[in-house]
Amino acid sequence: MTGREMDYIKEAFDSNWIAPLGPHVDAFEREMADYVGVSGALALSSGTAALHLALKLAGVERGDRVFCSDLTFAATVNPVFYEGAEPVFIDAEPESWNLSPLALERAFADAEREGRLPKAVVAADLYGQSADYGPIEALCDRYGVPLVEDAAEALGATYRGKKCGALGRWNVLSFNGNKIITTSGGGMLLSDDVEGLAKARFWATQARDKAPWYQHSEIGYNYRMSNLLAAVGRAQLGVIEDRVAARRAVFDRYVRELGELPGISFMPEASFGRHNRWLTVALVDQSRAGVSPLDLMGALEKENIESRPLWKPMHLQPVFEAYPFYSHDHEGDSAVSASLFDRGLCLPSGSSLSEPEQERIVQIIRSGFKGI
């Protein structure tokens, strides 16, 4: 917390705006739209809700296909099933670890031959870094398919000077408790499509018709953010650049202290933008390091320090394994996403992580390497 949250929350209590909607919701939407650089925003109960509404705006229906990033959290894919559609998974590429334009191009070509183009492409910005949206957007434009940016992990990151959260036709943010700023739970849908946002706002408030009684001509959802949570979000947004600087400093210290160990490397920062370093992610080559990522995770866990593997790719998930997958290198035997998953370890990366705490983590990791 920044210390300013209680001032905004007190305003909410003093004005008696406690229930969903209210002045802080309106202000949070305006302030986030201004920060990201889009025409409008819609504050919601979660990033997943925002993604669901984005897919509805794209016209996704039962039996349709949606192209999705493979290396991501399942929340990127689950809303596809809410509408009865099917995912097609697109591998990561090595430069940014995000959706591969090469794999996407092959998926589009096959879909055109089959006469079954997707209704949308959902690109997730992994661990705080954007995908390479130039070629991705060009492909989407060529085939007339809307692009949805899942920027849940990437608030504060940029792509060629433009902020994440403004790179698709519809864009999704998350303010879950583990994100770079948090409302404890919540999300946002952002876009320059003001008419689309108005429709999503209608759906998100139970699709209540304009009538003197409760009348509904469409199915709606209870997806709006409360005034109290928006109050927290406004205080958090005020320090977003400080949070990015803090996360990048944590990453830099890990690189200085661990970068020379045999077999260890870190998630690269692509030349096209600024990484917010939401999480510091290390790759461990067991043949050189003498330890596996799970070995290091176990050593940290013994000291009550949490670390995690990378997201398990969607095409390897039991619930999704029956759906099509396009690899980055169509002539290779393994996917980039699977290789990264096998070698990856997410390290403690919080904005409030102190240098002594980080030094303790570093020493535990160093002690796990043979010969160190």
Query: Where in the sequence numbering do the catalytic residues fall?
Result: 179
Other CB atoms within 10 A of residue 11 CB: 16
User: Can you read off the two tokens belonging to residue 366?
Assistant: 């160093």
Distance CA 72, CA 68 (A): 9
Q: List, in sequence order, every beta strand (DSSP E) within the chain.
A: 40-44, 65-69, 86-90, 120-124, 147-150, 158-159, 162-163, 170-174, 187-191, 264-266, 273-274, 280-284, 325-326, 344-347
Sign of CA dihedral 29, 129, 138, 328: negative
177 — phi, psi (to 5°)?
Answer: -60, -20
Spell out the residues 6+ positions from residue 363 whose beta carbon is closer than 8 angstroms to its own: none
Give strand pairing partners of 280.
Answer: 347
Q: Which residue do the tokens 């504050």 mark?
A: 43
Other CB atoms within 10 A of residue 107 CB: 23
Integer angstrom CA distances of residue 217 from 60, 210, 211: 19, 10, 11
Q: What is the DSSP letter of 210?
A: S
194 — phi, psi (to 5°)?
Answer: -65, -40
User: Can you read off the two tokens belonging to residue 23?
Assistant: 């002045």
| CA dihedral angle for residue 55, residue 57, residue 60, residue 65, rounded to 10 degrees | -60
Distance CA 229, CA 25 (A): 8
Contact assessment for residue 246 and residue 348, using Cβ atoms and an 8 Å cutoff: no
Spell out the residues 6+ positions from residue 332 whose beta carbon is closer than 8 angstroms to its own: none
- At residue 63, the 3 state secondary structure works out as coil
- At residue 324, the 3 state secondary structure works out as coil
On the 0-12 / 13-18 / 19+ scale of CB atoms within 10 A, 269 is: middle
